[in-house]
Chain A
Amino acid sequence: MYERQMDGPEGPPTDSTDVTDQVAVDRVRAGDRDAYAILVRRHAAAAHRAAFIFGAGPDAEDVVQVAFVKAYEALPRCRDGAAFRPWFLRIVINEAKNAKRAARRRWSATERLAALDVRLDGPDPAGSTLSRERRAELLAALRRLPVPQQQVIACRFFLELDERETATALGLPAGTVKSRLYRALRRLECELSSDVEVAEREH
């Protein structure tokens, strides 16, 4: 009887929080449009942060909405068993870049990340172990990195994706993510320590 109930017209509630992404994706692909609301509700906040960090600015909500609609249409073509979140974040990031390019007064070859323009004049967030000065230094050093390296750093440390998810979200081979991350960290180490030396020499 339980099985019949599961398969019945009422089905399980679509806003259920214990439904995995994979189950929700399968249901949408089987024609259950309302199951998509589970995915939207679950990933909206992370997608909004990604859109903001990749430069969508005040358009971040529109970007996320368009990305969700595009993902819905692309879902039948999504590889079986592929994790939804990084696959979806790639659509969000591309959409954010498009929005940012369109908003620019002038076409530019690459774009800087919005996250790196964040202002640090608000109160230090609770539990932050970093002084505001140190965060400003880190941000300044990040801004000096090449944009492709900034994007890898943003995915790893601002969106907290692992290397594999970062590769999917940026549409890069895993090896490229690894080498860009390595180069970025090496440059940051180099630059942050040489800044200290120069500052000490000057005082």
Chain B
Amino acid sequence: MNTERLLDELRGLGRSVQSPPVDTEALTARTMAALDSPVQAAATPRPRIARRRWRAFAGAVAAVMIVLALTPPVRAAVVDWFGVVITSGPAVENQPVPPAESSLSMVEARKLVNFEPIQPWTLGPPDGVEVSPDGMVLSMTWSAAGGGVTRMDQFIGVAPTYLKEFLYAAEQIDLGSTTALWFDGPHQVTRIDEAGREQVETARSAGPTLIVPIGDLTIRIEGLDRDRAVEVARSITGTD
């Protein structure tokens, strides 16, 4: 499709998106009145709430770090981090990343999940696309010529969706618009179903993984080294 036509269409789309009407005179009167009591008007609680939430979030991440570093390898501490529940667990053998079992088209896969999936353009079109039977997780895989598989799972990061058991501290990586967690060694990973039950039959050993929260979605990227995974994450979050 050519760029000129796309630009025209975007302009047309922009003009067709209506915003609600606003009473300019009333707003002007209210604003001018508010200038007389600027302290009150400026003391809106909104930014503070945002900051408080950020602190709570940063605190939760710090708690994960400490817990992972200190607790013995038993399933004691549980932290839900954007749909990924992290507990400490034993070290496991490294196993190959499983490729997707079916190959849906993206158009088909999109219809089976209740979110708008993200496609990482830097990796090119995937070889395999699958959706979990409960429609909660969309997975794409890419097979390298050398036999390695790159896997990207995405899901709404609100309900617990994965259980990770990891012995060591995960590393926080600042991506500008979001913070990712990097797990640098093999660890046990298990799907959690909608009712919050562990699906033990799905338990497998996962390799190094990057977890990236993007808006409502959480993305797991597995099968790439740290730098490449971060590069793909940056291309997805648009901070590249």
Residues of A within 8 A of B (CB): 33-34, 36-37, 40-41, 44-45, 48-49, 52-53, 60-62, 64-66, 68-70, 72-73, 95, 98-99, 101-102, 106-112, 115, 118, 122, 124-125, 128-130, 134-135, 138-140, 143-149, 153, 156-160, 180, 183-185, 187-193, 195, 198-199, 201-202
Q: Does B225 contact A (CB under 8 A)?
A: no
Q: A130-B16, A187-B121 are in contact. Are A109 and B215 (CB under 8 A)?
A: yes
Does B35 contact A147, Cβ atoms closer than 8 Å? no
Q: Is the interface of A mostly helix, strand, loop or mixed?
A: helix
Across-interface contacts of B118 in A (CB, < 8 A) = 144, 146
Q: A36-B35, A115-B17, A130-B13 are in contact. Are A69 and B107 (CB under 8 A)?
A: no
Q: Which of A52, A68, A118, A147 is B215 in contact with, Cβ under 8 Å?
A: A147
Does A98 contact B50, Cβ atoms closer than 8 Å? yes
Cα separation A66 to B41 with both chains bound (whole Å): 6
Tally chain B residues at the interface, Cβ within 8 Å: 63
Does B238 contact A180, Cβ atoms closer than 8 Å? yes
Cα separation A115 to B214 with both chains bound (whole Å): 18
Cα separation A70 to B35 with both chains bound (whole Å): 9
Q: Which of A107, A110, A145, A149 is B53 in contact with, Cβ under 8 Å?
A: A107
Across-interface contacts of B12 in A (CB, < 8 A) = 128-130, 135
Cα separation A60 to B23 with both chains bound (whole Å): 12
Does A45 contact B24, Cβ atoms closer than 8 Å? yes
Q: Which of B24, B38, B177, B236 is A72 in contact with, Cβ under 8 Å?
A: B38
Does B239 contact A148, Cβ atoms closer than 8 Å? yes
Does B57 contact A124, Cβ atoms closer than 8 Å? no
Does B16 contact A108, Cβ atoms closer than 8 Å? no
Q: Does B197 contact A (CB under 8 A)?
A: no
Shortest Cβ distance from A148 into B: residue: B238
Across-interface contacts of B116 in A (CB, < 8 A) = 140, 143-144
Q: Does B44 contact A (CB under 8 A)?
A: yes
For the complex of A and B, list the 4 residue pairs with the smallest distance between their C-beta atoms, beginning with the closest. Answer: A146-B238, A109-B178, A148-B238, A157-B14
Q: Does B199 contact A (CB under 8 A)?
A: no
Give the distance to chain A from B19, nearest Cβ to Cβ, in Å: 4
